[in-house]
C-alpha cells in the first residue's frame, strides 16, 4: 500500500490519534504549523478535494463534522481556528490522500502564504 495516509488508516504507522470512527480518523500533524494542528482524513482513499463528487460528498462533509467535534475537544472552538483543504501543487498539497487541516491556538494571517 503506497499511500501513507492509507497506511495510517490501516494502523500501520504510529500517529497520535485524537478521534476515529468508521469513516474518518483525526491525528496530530507530524510537523505542526500551530499549537494545535490536526489532520482529519477519510478512511477510504480520495486523492484530494478535486475528487469531490456526489458519491463521496457525505464522507467529505463528515470531515467538517469531525473537525468541529475535535476543535471543541481541543479547547480551540471559542477562540477560533482555521480549516484548510489543499489541492495539487499550487494549493500546497504534498500528500495525495484528502485531508482537512485543523489549525488553532494562535492568530492566523490572511491571505495565506
Ligand atoms: P499537505 O501539504 O496539505 O498535503 O499536508 C500534508 C501534511 O501531512 C503535512 O502537514 C505533513 O506534516 C503531514 N504529514 C505527513 N506525514 C505525516 C505523518 N506520518 N504523520 C502525521 N502527519 C504527517
Among this protein's residues, is 99 annotated catalytic?
yes
pLDDT tens sequence across 4-43: 999 999 999 999 999 999 999 999 999 999 999 999 999 9
* The three three-digit cell numbers of residue 71, written as one number: 476543535
Q: What gap in Å lies between CA 100 and CA 41, rounded to an integer?
A: 6
Beta bridge partners of 42: 24
Q: Is the CB of 72 under 6 A from ligand 1?
A: no
Sheet of 81-84, strand order: 17-20, 24-28, 36-42, 100-104, 81-84
Residue 92: enclosing H or E segment and its boundaries? none
Predicted confidence band of residue 113 (pLDDT cuts 50, 70, 90): confident
Which of 95, 96, 101, 103 should be mutated for ligand 1, with most atoms under 8 A from CB?
95
Judge if pTM exceeds 0.95: yes
How many angstroms does the Cα of residue 30 sit away from the middle of ligand 1? Answer: 6
CA of 78 to the centre of ligand 1 (A): 26
Gap from CA of 20 to ligand 1 centroid (Å): 17
Confirm if 105 and 35 have CB atoms less than 8 A apart. yes
Amino acid at each position: 500500500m503506497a499511500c501513507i495516509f492509507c497506511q495510517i488508516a490501516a494502523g500501520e504507522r504510529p500517529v497520535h490519534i485524537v478521534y476515529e470512527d468508521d469513516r474518518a480518523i483525526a491525528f496530530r500533524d507530524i510537523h505542526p504549523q500551530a499549537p494545535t494542528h490536526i489532520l482529519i482524513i477519510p478512511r477510504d482513499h480520495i486523492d484530494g478535494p478535486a475528487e469531490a463528487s456526489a458519491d463521496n460528498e457525505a464522507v467529505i462533509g463528515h470531515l467538517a463534522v469531525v473537525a468541529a467535534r475535535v476543535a471543541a475537544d481541543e479547547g480551540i472552538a471559542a477562540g477560533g481556528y482555521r480549516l484548510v483543504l489543499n489541492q495539487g501543487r499550487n494549493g500546497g498539497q504534498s500528500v495525495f490522500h484528502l485531508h482537512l487541516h485543523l489549525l488553532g491556538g494562535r492568530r492566523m494571517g490572511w491571505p495565506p502564504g
